[in-house]
Amino acid sequence: MKTVNEILGENQTLRGAVRVLTGKTHSGKRAIYISGNPAGLRLLADILRAQADAVGCGGGESRYFFKLERQSGSLFFATDDSVDIFEIHCDDHYPEKHDTPSVRKD
């Protein structure tokens, strides 16, 4: 089973292969837009699969949470206009409601 770090290390040539945007539809609904070439989408799928497979495993790196950031260079596979932070949270149960600044309904 490969870790996210191993997958990223093996795919350094896929720079700008995926676009991940957030926004709203014309009707005002929140949306995530993901587009990319086949290799970029496979990379994203492999990253998600690695996180899902890591649940319940021991080891040194965080198995339930992974944060990719443009500033650190770990989000190299995303286009320049993509999100600046891409977080993956994984656990062995359905997610609980988790408000973020863009989701809060104050």
How high is the pLDDT of residue 64? 72
Q: How far apart are CA 25 and CA 76, in angstroms?
A: 27
In this model, does residue 41 exceed pLDDT 70?
yes
Q: Are residues 63 and 54 in contact, defined by beta-carbon separation less than 8 angstroms?
A: yes
In this model, does residue 57 exceed pLDDT 80?
no
Which has more confidence, 91 or 7? 7
In this model, does residue 60 exceed pLDDT 60?
no
Q: Are residues 12 and 39 in contact, defined by beta-carbon separation less than 8 angstroms?
A: no
Give the predicted TM-score (pTM) of the model: 0.79
> Looking at residues 85-103, what average pLDDT do you find?
75
Condensed to tens digits (0 to 9), the pLDDT of residues 16-31 reads 999 999 999 999 999 9
